[in-house]
Structure 1
């Protein structure tokens, strides 16, 4: 054959042989994969398929196909623990039947109220030479696939996991949007890691992590027409939050466990097994076109159902701290922010750090009573404390164990407080994850609405713990107030978040600074860009950074728009965009659609809105854009429909909102 090829193509013999070898290998590998296949499981629509195999080293292998294309190349699975290696040297022990999965649930703190999850499930089993079994459960839906490990019987002596052998081998030519994991016990008052770094934008896979500690979830990839979002979900007690690590070749990413410094004093960092049968968190692979990934709800579809009957009470909140700082956490200012929330029709006001010393418990009781008379509920801030941070803000040291939490929660309940914001956690170690869960479990009987800052990724907890309204885990607006370099990066950063951080989980970015940030920093976004974030960013409780004085300076129609935003989104859909460049999303609530769009580019961008994506027919509504109405808005009534789309041009770092009738 080589000689034939050489004569036909004019190639030297050695080159021809090399070409033939590649051709033959390419033809042989699929046959080998098929011969070694242990079974597969497809999505309900048949467009996605996971195939399982066992390699010569006895390693379970998987790959993911989308419409016949390889979205994830053959990659190993398995777990390594104390005295047991369930990642290699295994033998196949059988596969169960394909079983349909159907789950319908309501979620008030996300982008869609009523959710329907449909998938096919199949469980594959292996054994090691000692007879210890490992099961891998796959669930494949139309928007992605997920797997988790299961131990159906006890493994003697196994208590702690050392390593997850799972990898994700993405195409070598893929590009990525990745946030580096910060080094533990660094940054402000040793409060890292807090998932507060900037995303690398559209970089080739294989780009090394700049901080040397891997990448946080979620992580977004593009390979041709395929978009892939990797994450994890459904962490229980004993689990640790994991991250991605760079593999040996471009496109390969490993699962990494937390650094030993990411634990409570004397507590564990690595995941441990409390009881058998045991199961791991889900490893999630959302895959499809960009709209499929951006609209996916896999992070909550795969989460455990509610663990408690605690009420979920979403809402909007006024908040003095981001633009005014610690010095304004005093009674008179907080009373003004209660009045501000009442005028705007918002449910909450958040009283931030130092309320215990600058207001005091007696006057806080007075403030809560005053707010109740205005129809406003009060949220209060706490330092998670412990020796993992040096942050001096108080209250501190009051939530570290069950007894102290009950004392504090009894006091807060008697005061009439509605919820807590707990800040400055210490990473992803299993003992730290257990601390989050303890806080949620102890707060539930009191009906407190919870918000975690300086925190890890929620990973679907908002479904399991309905009173968890939001978590930070993002470089939010506050960073833009600290220095100009951060403010300069807001446009690109904000246009990235709807495609990564905010896809599955509520995000307390604390948006909306329409007038100015402060006297030190110049805002780089337009007023309409800021306003659009009220629609783009999803959070069960949305804390708005704009002050009462700033809100008084915007046109009445802007205030009316913000007053009319619903507390719960019934539906959401991606309309247009590209991560880090621009984003346009529509969200429905209260029987009407709201659309928000931002342009992060250095120049203007033209957009077209199709009425068919918003219910069809002729659509009418109020459009708010950048303009000449102080401090920089304009409005007009619009009408668009079949054959007549709405055409817009957004300025650099500009935005718009549209409220349909």
Structure 2
């Protein structure tokens, strides 16, 4: 890939376009969207009915279409006796799915790769999931990219498509553009993502502002953003509940900047509902009609504008340096717009300020980012 600036590499769709066209005759059942997730927020998994329902409620409250039920939903995993067709004794899957349906939410299921692969268990499990009304599967711990594993990915994707299941590969190698051929392969990990904040100091602002120019060039990445326990770098402590060393606005910006049609929000309901910034993530799009990289350099900062229908979203993040950026709105079509913005409060990483202003394509505004900070905006047409 060649470009005159780093941002042009992000805008490129070369990797996907090197793949064959869509092989799924009717792909209308593939629905991108945001998801709640029941695992990241606590020191240990809580696999019980009240917890699952709490996260379904979160998805419903935020107008997200999905909730991801993570590991241990079928009890023992990565063992010969593991059965990916039966929920653990403490769970009533029919009740869970009926509750989710009443809330207009669909569920995803986590699977350990060895349990999927053993005796081709997925061949009998996937039609059962379709019968249950499961939207997709998150398959974890492959941790290889040899030819046998690459071929196995394709088998999984093709079989999942047959039963109208989307796929999220975790513990995965980086994508290769196969989403063009099989769009049900909607995202994958293959990235040093947010969950490492549990047990590492590696998820820095410098790391986060490098990813769009490196790993994201290969395609979708299931980074699982959304940590709302934001702290300054010097105050960060590994553990539970999990903190993140950036500002609230930097965390919000990841939902615009990072690419993942199945975007999994990581934190607990009590950390987002009614908190500053939750409104920005309400009914948040995860696929885009246009992308404009407005500036940036690996490890320093990035600012991106993305369009969904008539609305534009803008996200900016900086490294450990405080920074002021000028945002020119010349990517807008002629007309009058309202820009709603969420901005950092300096030295108060969980706080933000909200404002609205009238703008047009000729407007230019200065935005100020705190250290490890960010800025987001939604631009809507004045009808």
TM over 0.5: yes
Structure with the greater alpha carbon radius of gyration: 1
Distance in 2 between residues matched to 1:575 and 1:401, nearest whole Å: 50
The alpha carbon displacement at 1:585 in A equals 0.5
Q: Which of 88, 97, 109 pairs up with 1:360?
A: 88
1:257-296 to structure 2, matched below 5 A, reads 285-296=1-12
CA contact (8 A) 1:514 1:531 kept: no
Is there any run of 5+ residues in structure 2 with no aligned partner, and where?
A: 77-86, 231-237
- Alpha-carbon displacement from aligned partner over 1:425-448 (angstroms, at most 9, x marks no partner): 131111110110010111111100
Shift of 1:365: 2.5
Counterpart CA distance in 2 for 1:636 and 1:518 is 34
The answer (yes or no) to whether the contact 2:225–2:265 under 8 Å persists in 1 is: yes
> Greater share of strand residues, 1 or 2?
1
Q: Which residue of 2 aligns with 1:501?
A: 215
Write out per-residue CA displacement over residues 77-96 of structure 1, whole angstroms, 9 at most, x where no aligned residue. xxxxxxxxxxxxxxxxxxxx
Corresponding residue to 2:307 among 580, 584, 588: 588
Following superposition, the deviation at residue 660 of structure 1 comes to 0.6
Counterpart in the other structure of 1:563: 282
Instruction: Show the counterpart of 1:132.
Output: none
Q: Secondary structure of 1:576's partner?
A: strand
1:440 is aligned to 2:157: yes
Q: Which residue of 2 aligns with 1:512?
A: 226
Instruction: Note the C-alpha offset of 1:347.
Output: 0.5
Partner of 1:377: 106
- Residue 317 of structure 1 corresponds to 35
Matched, 1:614 2:332: yes
Structure-2 separation of matches of 1:336 and 1:611? 40
Cα contact 1:369–1:416 (8 A) shared by 2? no
Partners of 2:211 and 2:263 in 1: CA distance: 15
Q: Paired residue for 1:541, among 251, 262, 266?
A: 262
Within 2, Cα distance between the matches of 1:312 and 1:286? 32
Give ranges in structure 1 of 5+ residues lacking alignment.
Answer: 1-284, 386-396
CA deviations 1:269-306 (Å, max 9, x no partner) are xxxxxxxxxxxxxxxx3333223222111011111112
Aligned with 2:139 (options 413, 422, 428): 422
Q: CA deviation at 1:618?
A: 5.5
Name 1:450's counterpart in structure 2: 167
CA RMSD for the aligned pairs?
2.2
How many residues are paired up? 359
- State the SS of the aligned residue for 1:323: coil
In the TM superposition, what is the alpha-carbon distance from 1:617 to its structure 2 partner? Answer: 5.9
**TM superposition score normalised by structure 2:** 0.88
Distance change (3 Å), C-alpha of 1:599 and 1:616: farther
- 2:45 corresponds to 1:331: no
Calculate the TM-score normalised by the size of structure 1.
0.52
Secondary structure of 1:327's match?
coil
Structure 1 residue runs of 4+, over 6 Å off? none
Per the TM alignment, residue 490 of structure 1 is displaced from its structure 2 partner at its CA by 2.1
Q: 1:630 to 1:653 in 2, by over 3 A?
A: closer
Residue 491 (1) aligns with residue 205 (2): yes
Instruction: Identify the residue that residue 413 of structure 1 maps to in structure 2.
Output: 130
After superposing the two structures, state which structure 1 stretch, 431-440 or 355-364, moved more.
Answer: 355-364
Q: State the structure with bigger RCO (CA 8 A, min sep 6), 1 or 2.
A: 2
User: Is 1:600 aligned to residue 319 of structure 2?
Assistant: yes
